[in-house]
Amino acid sequence: MTAHSATASHVRTGGPQEDGPKIVEHVMGWVLVLVVAMLVTRLGLL
């Protein structure tokens, strides 16, 4: 095994943790959708 292949399997990209609560991520996604929808309607873009 080379040094490159040993380190490449443990590289993190800075994304969300795998063991985090999924419900919080789901709720925050819907909050983002609602905020964007309110912004679009308030600006009269729809």
SS3 32: helix
Q: Coil, strand, or helix at residue 38?
A: helix
Query: How confident is the model at residue 32, as a pLDDT?
Result: 98
Ranges of H-type helices in the chain: 3-8, 22-43
Whole-structure pTM over 0.95, yes or no? no
Q: In this predicted model, what pLDDT tens digit does every residue of 1-45 receive, in sequence order?
A: 565 555 556 676 766 666 667 888 899 999 999 999 999 999 988
Tokens of 42: 């308030």
